[in-house]
Amino acid sequence: MKEENTTRVTEFIILGFPEFPELQIPLFLLFLLIYLTILLGNLTIITVTCLNPRLHTPMYFFLCNLSFLDISYTSVTLPKLLDIFLRKSHGISVYGCFTQLYSFLCLSCVEFVIISVMAYDRYVAICHPLRYTLIMNERVCILMASGTWIFSFLEPVTHTFLVSHLSYCSSNIINHFFCDFSGLLKLSCTNTFTLNCMTYVWSAIFGLPLCLSTVVSYIYIISAILRIRSVEGRRKAFSTCSSHLTVLILFYGTMFCSYVRPTSMQSLDQNKLFALLYNILIPIFNPVIYSLKNREVKGALRKAFSRKL
């Protein structure tokens, strides 16, 4: 039978977490608290960085981008989940679903690139400190940030277009808490071989080099730290590096497990767990690890609060 390339459903049903019917309100309160914590933590970083001239450096410029990114992609997914918990509003229109999918893919792509850019920034600062201001000047930073956002908003267009033209004739129930790429592929009765191939090609051409460049940057950073003579200095540097690497491993690991594995090997329940990790844990950890553990940021926060008091 010839496959149709049109969507037969008018809306999708997002299940959320139906495994815990008696815990919907407690889960709503928990995820609301998590969402507000993410907003507060990342907005604090952006505000303090913008108001304090001493923090107008490349590192904090990219941290502001990361904080804005964390706010954005949790705002793409968590409000709908909160609506499901509170009002049991599981339905989402076809166009709303594909818009959510496109937005999430864009912002995930931004995170891939911005993490690599930040790793490169730290590599230059630690391994080439005398040339740091020359290499990472204002023009270069703006070009890197704008290039990251432009590339990331263009890259998922093809994926979203192809997913939106699949046929969903068997079911419209997405076993996830947002319109996830893997969840939509599982529902399709169209051959998804082309989309799977595109995912692997993207991973090979863009994802793998970005991941490798980040790892190589940290290898050089760690080798530079090992040359520090002070034991206390090495300990503090390794403490910061280990925190950064924990976030990187968590992000890359969950993303590759969710989207790079063959569709036949994927479990939607596992994908939901992976999605929770990079939707919730990473946006909470980022402000703490990248900024709030930093003495300069803590000093700026103390100054801001002392002025108000």
pLDDT band per the 50, 70, 90 thresholds, residue 304: low
135 contacts: CB under 8 Å, gap ≥ 6:
124, 128
Would you say 54 and 60 are in contact if contact means Cβ atoms under 8 Å apart? Answer: no
Return the exposure string of 58-74: e unless at least 16 CB atoms fall within 10 Å of the residue's CB, then b: bbbbbbbbbbbbbbbbb
- The candidate with the shortest Cα–Cα distance to 257, out of 280, 227, 278, is 278
The DSSP secondary structure of 120-168, one letter per residue, reads HHHHHHHH-GGGHHHHT-HHHHHHHHHHHHHHHHHTTHHHHHHHHTS--
Joined together, the tokens standing for residue 296 give 């300069």
- Name the residue with tokens 């908003």: 153
List the chain domain ranges: 12-307
**Contacts of 117 by beta carbon, 8 Å cutoff, 6+ apart:** 62, 144, 145, 148
Q: Give the residue with greater pLDDT, 304 vs 179.
A: 179
What tens digit of pLDDT does each residue of 139-182 get? Answer: 999 999 999 999 999 989 988 998 988 888 768 899 889 998 88
Q: Which residue has the higher pLDDT, 21 or 140?
A: 140
> Cα(41)–Cα(211) distance, rounded to whole angstroms?
26
DSSP letters for 202-248:
HIIIIIHHHHHHHHHHHHHHHHHHHT---HHHHHHHHHHHHHHHHHH
Average pLDDT over residues 83-111: 92
How far is it, in rounded angstroms, from Cα 35 to Cα 53? 29
Q: For 37-83, write each residue's pLDDT tens digit.
A: 999 989 988 988 888 888 888 988 998 999 999 999 899 999 999 99
Domain 12-307 has CATH 1.20.1070.10: yes
A 10 A CB-CB count for 33 gives 10
Identify the pLDDT of residue 262.
63
CA-to-CA distance for 69 and 71, rounded, in angstroms?
Answer: 5
State what percent of residues in the chain have pLDDT above 70.
87
Distance CA 214, CA 121 (A): 10
Rounded Cα–Cα distance for residues 180 and 105 (Å): 9
Yes or no: say if 193 and 174 are a contact pair by the CB < 8 Å rule.
no
Q: What is the DSSP letter of 306?
A: H
The model's confidence at residue 1, banded by pLDDT at 50, 70 and 90, is very low
Residue 292 has pLDDT above 80, yes or no: no
pLDDT of amino acid 33: 95
**Confidence (pLDDT) at 2:** 42
For tokens 């993410």, the residue is 38
Per the CB < 8 A criterion, the answer to whether 190 and 166 are in contact is yes
Most confident residue range from 7-21, 93-107, 210-224, 240-254: 93-107
Contact criterion met (CB below 8 Å) for 84 and 173: no
Over the stretch 195-240, which tens digit does the pLDDT of each residue have? 888 888 887 888 888 888 998 998 898 888 888 777 776 776 676 6
Contact 213, 117 (CB under 8 A): no
Instruction: Please tell me the predicted confidence (pLDDT) of residue 309.
Output: 54
